[in-house]
């Protein structure tokens, strides 16, 4: 039986929660020390990793948004989301290498300046992938999740796992995506720049960049721009439009939303489609950045994005974004300074630590249950 | 008082029949090694899934970490028997034995101390446990190495076969024990998270364990585990008899636990946590103990699994595979022991057996295309699983008939 | 006044108890004394903080400030299960049974801390287990008999009709062997006849099990009949206390229930009626 603590030392320990705090402080101090060490030892290498991490983080953010929206509205961990991302990457692979979709504008108007024509082509590729993914998720939702809306929550989770297996292994069939690693053809040429103590400049092919400088490419710029603009579009949809309002209403209280005349099934379908469209875009960007596509490519990024969504506070759009950026950093930094295979373990350890400090994620709201 | 229930007799006869039939068919070579291995895997899967069903189906804690503990048990047990058969040393046995014992003792001691402190937060408690357990492990390793040689000599006095069997059985139980202790430490802070967050944190555990196993030779320093190349040279000791014994004991254990006041306390947490805690159920304790028991079963099953093929690979424990027990548990029916056991055998026979044979040549890759479709159809047709919460009479909890109590009857009439 | 002479030792005492949710003062500096063997009422309009007080007493919420004294010990902020085992049991406003378990199991779970056998006995199903389990079951069945639920023992709790669910919840609370029983709107959703029967039942179990009862109700009529002392709350604070008659005539109470100015109106009404 619990009694009043008599010993003042124990009282102090309980009151200040010192042991738990000390535990985290030790871990935190170690991490900060290690990062500080890395930064002072070789600043350019460290900053280069940060840039790489940002690039990865912005891709993760797009996937994480889908996770967070779907969880927010139907409380389903949509394990098939990572595979939708994979389909997005493959769609762009086919549209580029089979149909030359990225060249349609140039072919139609050969006299148009090359740069904007390229951009229009690339945007078309992304939009095509987004559309296909949205359609796919819409279908999946209709077949696999909608009939289970009234069933226990776990049933939908199991079908999500089933859909995930199906997309992967159907994709692995020889007449679909094949089980091989396929080199991806980018819809534009890569240009790289360096920035550092020796100034700013373009890196010509075959020339090494000056030492102590940070390299970044147009891929980085494109990913950041695309990701941010999609985030803004999404934020606009959720906050400003009627459908966004309906989404928030359904997420908050489905039965009441239904009583208020909101077609909650339609809203849920649209949410799935929207999330999948973002995952499709992420698939294209990921394939552009790491030009290789294969049928299980969605698992790990999907998992990481999911972790990001949880770290940020699942259900919160800015949270997913922040979480994704943290995940990107954690991954590149741990790959650079600890070891590449350990990066998944680091990502999940980070998740656990964040959950212990903030049980609902960084931006998550702690809702207490009414008794 | 000493009369034995009819349902118990039926169950015992049924179990004996299953054992004898499979054993005869196997020894007569009517069941070939392919199918026998599948049966062994099904039995292993049943134990893992029963552990998960206890955690998720009965206690309501959504765990995806079952395969992490399964992996810990597998590698622990494998390492012990590997050292015994390949290196002819009982060092693995003694070290792990002392780790299990000393950790358990320290956990109990710290638990006693912590329970006297009012209002200690979980993280501080966790930090205390961690510090003490690490010290215990350090001491255990030293102690284990000290007595390794005498124990080796002692075991060598026995006939080789007997000694190996003893090492094997102890290894499996120690695999379970280590998994249980790890689950206690990991569960302590994360069991306070909500259900979904607990699931995510346990999923994280599976992934962390898998990554560590991938680097077991370089980072952990266990050369014999060979990291991502896979561990070989484990004696193939698991046979149908062992699987049957362990599965049988597991079922009886779970049945006895669930049909007691402790089992009801565990289930009440699934039903309504707030109501349970308001009715005097020590919710954190029962959550922890259920998680520990479930993980113990997973670890034990891991030990059995390690000795089925004599080969372990970290990919077996990847998080994609870790959904298997969850699928089985939901498929059989959450909170149904009968369902879980049936579903495990059905799952192994269909996925590993039938689908391999039915699919024509050139369509082997279709196995994992057909499987999710089956899963989907199943889930859409039976969202509550095959058995719902049905149990065979032996496992089902019995509502005892009312005793005639004339005076009490009178009182209740008075009231109504 | 009769109860006062019989036994005056307080068993449960709230001292300047506060519970805030952010800026909301759900309970603010509430003092309450519950004497042993009393049957007291806690009333007030919706959202006046009655249930929050129950939640703080039973440990579901930690008090923001102030103390809860039970049997001479401060229990504020203890774990709910510890508080229950010390001797405070409760029911819930929106019935919280264990919905998928049988009626008997619902009661047996509450009796769990007194099961009298260890987990090892349970796993072995040995003689001690069999004996204690039988005793436990009989005890639980006795509780069901008190509430006339004995024929329903094998039923799944969620399939019971509403009134029986309410009764089962009280039976379950009793099975946890309390000294103080907190009932949160036990008569909610019942017709006046059922409510009266229930109140008689509560009166009866108080005597039989030697209980102290505090019950929340927001229909005044229901508590007036049986409660010896009534505390009235509004906006998280106590606005009146006393016997039913005293409370009924209190100016603040009338205003809390009927709105400001109602006191004048009611006096006018009574005068006119007297003419």
Residues 6+ apart with CB under 8 A from A354: A311, A361, A362
Decide if C183 contacts C57 (C-beta within 8 A): no
CATH number, position C25: 3.40.50.300
Which residues are C34's β-sheet partners? C12
Contacts by C62-67, CB closer than 8 A, 24 or more apart: C63/C17, C63/C18, C63/C19, C64/C18, C64/C19, C64/C20, C65/C16, C65/C17, C65/C18, C66/C14, C66/C15, C66/C16, C66/C17, C66/C18, C66/C29, C66/C30, C67/C14, C67/C15, C67/C16, C67/C17
In a domain, C93, yes or no: no
Mutate to test the interface with B, among A23, A68, A369 (most CBs of B within 10 A): A23
pLDDT of C6 > 90? The answer is no
CB contact under 8 A, A2 and C79: yes
How many residues are listed for chain B in this entry? 416
pLDDT band at B409 (very low <50, low <70, confident <90, very high): very low
Q: Which domain holds residue C119?
A: 100-177
CB contact under 8 A, A371 and C85: no
CA distances A280 to A63, A101, A130, A221, Å, are 8, 16, 5, 19
Q: Using a CB–CB cutoff of 8 Å, tell me whether A204 touches chain C.
A: no
Q: In what order do the strands lie in the sheet with A192-196?
A: A199-203, A192-196, A214-217
**From the CA of B289, how many Å to the nearest CA of chain A?**
19
CB–CB contacts below 8 A, A to C = 11
Closest C-alpha to B336, from B18, B50, B14, B45: B50
CB contact under 8 A, B196 and A75: yes
Decide if B383 contacts A152 (C-beta within 8 A): yes
Residues 6+ apart with CB under 8 A from B218: B227
**Token pair in block for residue A58:** 């912005």
**Token pair in block for residue C190:** 């019942």
Q: Between these two residues, C269 and A368, which has the higher pLDDT value?
A: C269
pLDDT per position as a tens digit, B59-77 = 999 999 999 999 999 999 9
3-class state of residue C84 by DSSP:
helix
Residues of B in contact with A295 (CB under 8 A): none
Neighbours of A87 (CB within 10 A): 24
**From the CA of B328, how many Å to the nearest CA of chain A?**
10
CB contact under 8 A, A148 and B274: no
Decide if A71 contacts B199 (C-beta within 8 A): no
pLDDT of B407 > 80? The answer is no
Q: What is the mean pLDDT of chain C?
A: 87
* C174-185 average pLDDT score: 92
Domain residues of chain A, as ranges?
18-357
- Residue B3 has what pLDDT? 60
pLDDT per position as a tens digit, A60-94 = 999 999 999 998 888 888 999 999 999 999 999 99
Please tell me the distance from the alpha carbon of residue A249 to that of residue A245, in angstroms, as a whole number: 6
Residues C18 and C154 in one domain: no
* B37-58 average pLDDT score: 94
Residues C82 and C201 in one domain: yes
DSSP state of A340: G
DSSP state of C113: G
Which residues are C68's β-sheet partners? C14
- Residue C157 has what pLDDT? 93
CB contact under 8 A, C78 and A2: yes
pLDDT per position as a tens digit, B144-163 = 999 999 999 999 998 989 99
pLDDT per position as a tens digit, B224-266 = 888 889 999 899 999 999 999 999 999 999 999 999 999 999 9
E-only strand ranges, B222-298: 231-232
* C28-49 average pLDDT score: 89
Closest C-alpha to A247, from A263, A225, A226, A224: A263
Decide if B319 contacts A296 (C-beta within 8 A): no
pLDDT band at C274 (very low <50, low <70, confident <90, very high): confident
pLDDT per position as a tens digit, B335-353 = 899 999 999 999 999 888 8
CB contact under 8 A, B372 and A169: yes
Pairing verdict, β C180-184 and C212-217: parallel
Neighbours of C262 (CB within 10 A): 16
Please tell me the distance from the alpha carbon of residue A8 to that of residue A5, in angstroms, as a whole number: 8
Residues of A in contact with C85 (CB under 8 A): 1
Please tell me the distance from the alpha carbon of residue A159 to that of residue B372, in angstroms, as a whole number: 8
Q: How many contiguous H segments (helices) and E segments (strands) does chain B have? A: 16, 2
In a domain, C120, yes or no: yes
DSSP state of B354: I
**Token pair in block for residue C173:** 């609370």
3-class state of residue C181 by DSSP:
strand
**Token pair in block for residue A168:** 């992967």
| Residue at a domain's end among C143, C177, C211 | C177
Closest residue in chain B to residue C113, using alpha carbons only? B280
DSSP state of A173: S
> pLDDT digit of tens for each residue in chain A (371 aa)?
445 566 778 778 877 788 888 888 998 899 899 889 888 888 888 889 999 999 999 999 999 999 999 988 888 889 999 999 999 999 999 999 888 888 888 888 888 888 888 888 889 999 999 999 999 999 999 999 999 888 888 889 999 999 999 999 999 888 888 888 989 888 888 888 888 777 787 877 666 667 778 888 889 999 999 999 999 999 999 989 999 999 989 988 888 999 999 999 999 999 999 999 999 999 999 999 999 999 999 998 998 999 999 999 888 888 999 999 999 999 999 888 888 888 888 888 899 889 888 888 888 776 555 66
Q: What is the mean pLDDT of chain B?
A: 88
In a domain, C79, yes or no: yes
Closest C-alpha to B347, from B366, B320, B327: B327
Q: Is B412 exposed, middle or buried (0-12, 13-18, 19+ CB in 10 A)?
A: middle
Residues C245 and C165 in one domain: no
Q: Which of A84-98, B287-301, B302-316, C2-16 has the lowest mean pLDDT?
A: C2-16
pLDDT band at B404 (very low <50, low <70, confident <90, very high): low
CATH of the domain spanning A18-357:
1.10.3470
Q: Is B139 exposed, middle or buried (0-12, 13-18, 19+ CB in 10 A)?
A: middle
Closest residue in chain B to residue A77, using alpha carbons only? B196
Residues of A in contact with C60 (CB under 8 A): 371
Q: Chain C window 134-173: which residues touch A at a Cβ cutoff of 8 Å?
A: none
Phi, psi angles (nearest 5°) of residue A156: -65, -35
- Residue B42 has what pLDDT? 95
Please tell me the distance from the alpha carbon of residue A334 to that of residue B303, in angstroms, as a whole number: 32
- Residue B415 has what pLDDT? 42
pLDDT of C7 > 60? The answer is no
E-only strand ranges, chain A: 182-183, 192-196, 199-203, 214-217, 292-293
Q: Using a CB–CB cutoff of 8 Å, tell me whether A288 touches chain B.
A: no
**From the CA of C235, how many Å to the nearest CA of chain B?**
25
- Residue C8 has what pLDDT? 64
**From the CA of A2, how many Å to the nearest CA of chain C?**
7
Neighbours of A209 (CB within 10 A): 18
CB contact under 8 A, C110 and B279: yes
* C223-238 average pLDDT score: 87
- Residue B408 has what pLDDT? 46
Residues C171 and C199 in one domain: no
Q: What is the CA radius of gyration of chain A?
A: 23
* B78-100 average pLDDT score: 92
| Residue at a domain's end among C177, C196, C213 | C177
CB contact under 8 A, B127 and A19: yes
Please tell me the distance from the alpha carbon of residue A216 to that of residue A212, in angstroms, as a whole number: 13
Closest residue in chain B to residue A140, using alpha carbons only? B376
CB contact under 8 A, C145 and B268: no
Residue with tokens 């990701």: A227
**Token pair in block for residue A8:** 């003042």
- Largest distance between two CA atoms of chain A: 87
CB contact under 8 A, C79 and A371: no
- Residue C136 has what pLDDT? 92
Please tell me the distance from the alpha carbon of residue B322 to that of residue B337, in angstroms, as a whole number: 20
Number of domain units in chain C: 2
- Largest distance between two CA atoms of chain C: 79
Please tell me the distance from the alpha carbon of residue C241 to that of residue C220, in angstroms, as a whole number: 13
Q: In what order do the strands lie in the sheet with C73-74?
A: C24-35, C10-21, C65-70, C73-74
Please tell me the distance from the alpha carbon of residue A133 to that of residue A126, in angstroms, as a whole number: 11
Mutate to test the interface with A, among B372, B373, B374 (most CBs of A within 10 A): B372
CB contact under 8 A, C55 and A371: yes
Decide if A188 contacts A122 (C-beta within 8 A): yes
Q: Using a CB–CB cutoff of 8 Å, tell me whether A369 touches chain C.
A: no
Residues of B in contact with C123 (CB under 8 A): 253, 256-257, 260
In a domain, C44, yes or no: yes
DSSP state of A101: G
Residues C82 and C186 in one domain: yes
Mutate to test the interface with A, among B63, B65, B118 (most CBs of A within 10 A): B118
* C135-158 average pLDDT score: 91
Residues C195 and C59 in one domain: yes
The ipTM of this complex is 0.88
* C71-93 average pLDDT score: 90
Domain residues of chain B, as ranges?
6-23+38-395
Neighbours of B113 (CB within 10 A): 14
- Residue B387 has what pLDDT? 84
Please tell me the distance from the alpha carbon of residue C265 to that of residue C270, in angstroms, as a whole number: 9
Residues 6+ apart with CB under 8 A from B70: B48, B179, B298, B299, B301, B302, B305, B317
Decide if C78 contacts B118 (C-beta within 8 A): yes
Q: What string of DSSP letters covers B285-303?
A: HHHHHHHHHHHHHHHHHHH
3-class state of residue A212 by DSSP:
coil
Q: Which of B82-91, B219-228, B239-248 has the lowest mean pLDDT?
A: B219-228
Residues of C in contact with A371 (CB under 8 A): 51, 55, 60, 92
Q: What string of DSSP letters covers B61-109?
A: -----HHHHHHHHHHHHHHHHHHHHTS---HHHHHHHHHHHHHHHHHHH
Q: In what order do the strands lie in the sheet with C88-90?
A: C88-90, C180-184, C212-217, C39-43, C229-234, C237-242
Residues of C in contact with A2 (CB under 8 A): 78-79, 82
CB contact under 8 A, A174 and B365: yes
pLDDT above 90 as % of chain B: 58
| Residue at a domain's end among C152, C177, C202 | C177
DSSP state of B227: G
CB contact under 8 A, C82 and A1: yes
**Token pair in block for residue B11:** 């169950």
């Amino acid at each position: 039986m619990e009694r009043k603590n008599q010993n003042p030392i124990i009282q102090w320990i309980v009151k200040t929660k010192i042991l738990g705090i000390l535990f985290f402080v030790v871990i935190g101090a170690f991490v900060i020390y290690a990062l500080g060490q890395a930064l002072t030892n070789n600043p350019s290498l460290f900053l280069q990793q940060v840039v790489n991490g940002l690039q990865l983080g912005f891709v993760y953010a797009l996937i994480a948004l889908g996770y967070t929206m779907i969880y927010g509205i139907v409380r389903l961990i949509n394990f098939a989301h990572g595979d939708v991302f994979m389909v997005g990457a493959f769609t762009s692979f086919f549209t580029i290498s089979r149909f030359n979709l990225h060249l349609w504008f140039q072919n139609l108007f050969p006299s148009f300046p090359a740069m904007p024509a390229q951009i229009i082509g690339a945007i078309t590729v992304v939009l095509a992938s987004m559309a296909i993914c949205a359609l796919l998720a819409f279908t999946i939702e209709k077949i696999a999740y909608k009939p289970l809306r009234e069933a226990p929550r776990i049933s939908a989770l199991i079908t999500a796992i089933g859909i995930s297996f199906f997309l992967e292994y159907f994709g692995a069939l020889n007449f679909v995506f094949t089980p091989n690693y396929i080199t991806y053809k980018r819809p534009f040429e890569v240009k790289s720049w360096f920035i550092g103590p020796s100034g700013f400049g373009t890196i010509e092919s075959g020339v090494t960049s000056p030492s102590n400088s940070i390299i970044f490419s147009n891929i980085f710029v494109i990913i950041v721009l695309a990701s941010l603009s999609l985030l803004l579009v999404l934020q606009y949809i959720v906050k400003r439009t009627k459908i966004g309002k309906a989404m928030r209403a359904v997420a908050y209280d489905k039965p009441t939303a239904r009583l208020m005349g909101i077609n909650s099934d339609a809203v849920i379908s649209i949410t799935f489609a929207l999330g999948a469209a973002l995952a499709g875009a992420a698939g294209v960007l990921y394939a552009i950045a790491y030009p290789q596509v294969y049928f299980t490519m969605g698992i790990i990024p999907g998992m990481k994005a999911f972790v990001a969504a949880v770290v940020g506070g699942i259900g919160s759009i800015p949270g997913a974004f922040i979480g994704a950026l943290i995940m990107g950093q954690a991954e590149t930094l741990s790959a650079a300074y600890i070891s590449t295979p350990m990066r998944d373990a680091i990502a999940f350890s980070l998740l656990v630590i964040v959950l212990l400090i903030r049980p609902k994620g960084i931006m998550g709201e702690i809702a207490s249950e009414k008794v | 008082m000493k009369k034995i229930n009819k349902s118990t007799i039926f169950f015992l006869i049924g179990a004996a029949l299953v054992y004898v039939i499979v054993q005869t068919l196997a020894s007569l070579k009517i069941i070939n090694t392919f199918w026998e291995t599948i049966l062994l895997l099904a039995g292993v899967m049943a134990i893992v899934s029963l552990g998960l069903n206890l955690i998720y189906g009965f206690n309501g804690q959504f765990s995806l970490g079952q395969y992490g503990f399964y992996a810990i048990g597998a590698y622990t047990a494998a390492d012990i028997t590997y050292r015994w058969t390949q290196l002819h040393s009982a060092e693995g046995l003694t070290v792990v034995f002392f780790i299990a014992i000393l950790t358990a003792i320290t956990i109990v001691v710290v638990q006693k101390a912590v329970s006297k402190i009012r209002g200690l937060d979980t993280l501080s408690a966790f930090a205390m446990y961690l510090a003490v357990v690490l010290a215990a492990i350090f001491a255990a390793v030293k102690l284990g190495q000290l007595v390794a040689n005498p124990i080796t000599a002692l075991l060598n006095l026995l006939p080789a076969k007997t000694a190996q069997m003893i090492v094997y059985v102890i290894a499996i139980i120690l695999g379970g024990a280590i998994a249980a202790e790890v689950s206690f430490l990991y569960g302590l802070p994360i069991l306070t998270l909500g259900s979904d967050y607990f699931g995510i944190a346990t999923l994280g555990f599976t992934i962390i364990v898998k990554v560590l196993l991938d680097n077991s030779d370089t980072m952990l320093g266990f050369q014999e585990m060979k990291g991502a190349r896979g561990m070989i040279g484990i004696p193939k000791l698991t046979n149908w008899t062992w699987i049957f014994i362990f599965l049988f004991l597991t079922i009886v254990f779970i049945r006895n636990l669930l049909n007691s006041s402790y089992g009801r306390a565990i289930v009440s947490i699934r039903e309504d946590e707030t109501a349970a805690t308001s009715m005097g159920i020590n919710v954190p304790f029962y959550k922890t103990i259920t998680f520990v028991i479930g993980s113990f079963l997973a670890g034990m099953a891991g030990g059995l699994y390690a000795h089925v093929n004599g080969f372990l690979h970290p990919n077996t424990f990847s998080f994609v595979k870790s959904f298997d027990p969850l699928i089985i548990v939901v498929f059989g029916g959450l909170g149904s022991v009968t369902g879980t056991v049936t579903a495990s055998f059905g799952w192994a026979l269909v996925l590993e057996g039938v689908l391999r044979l039915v699919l024509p040549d050139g369509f082997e890759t279709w196995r994992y295309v057909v499987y999710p479709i089956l899963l989907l159809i199943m889930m859409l047709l039976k969202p509550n699983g095959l058995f719902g919460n049905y149990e065979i009479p032996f496992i089902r909890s019995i509502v005892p008939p009312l005793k005639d109590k004339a005076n009490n009857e009178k009182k209740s009439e008075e009231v109504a | 006044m009769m109860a006062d002479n019989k036994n005056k030792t307080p068993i449960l005492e709230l001292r300047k108890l506060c519970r805030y949710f952010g800026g909301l003062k759900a309970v603010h500096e509430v003092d309450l004394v519950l004497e042993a063997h009393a049957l007291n009422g806690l009333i007030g309009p919706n959202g006046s903080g009655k249930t929050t007080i129950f939640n703080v007493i039973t440990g579901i919420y930690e008090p923001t400030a102030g103390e809860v004294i039970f049997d001479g010990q401060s229990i504020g902020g203890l774990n709910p299960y510890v508080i229950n085992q010390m001797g405070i049991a409760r029911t819930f406003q929106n019935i919280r049974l264990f919905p998928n378990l049988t009626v008997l199991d619902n009661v047996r779970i509450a009796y769990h801390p007194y099961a009298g056998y260890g987990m090892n006995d349970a796993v072995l199903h040995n003689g001690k287990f069999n004996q204690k389990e039988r005793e436990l079951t009989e005890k639980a069945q006795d509780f069901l008999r008190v509430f006339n639920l004995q024929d329903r023992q094998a039923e799944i709790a969620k399939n019971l009709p509403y009134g029986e669910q309410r009764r089962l919840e009280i039976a379950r609370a009793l099975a946890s062997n309390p000294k103080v029983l907190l009932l949160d709107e036990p008569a909610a959703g019942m017709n006046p006849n059922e409510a009266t029967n229930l109140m008689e039942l509560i009166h009866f179990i108080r005597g039989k099990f030697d209980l102290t009862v505090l019950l929340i109700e927001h229909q005044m009529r229901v508590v007036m009949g049986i409660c010896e002392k009534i505390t009235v709350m509004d906006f998280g604070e106590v606005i009146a206390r006393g016997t039913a008659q005293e409370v009924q005539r209190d100016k603040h109470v009338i205003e809390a229930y009927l709105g400001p100015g109602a006191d004048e109106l009611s006096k006018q009404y009574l005068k006119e009626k007297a003419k």
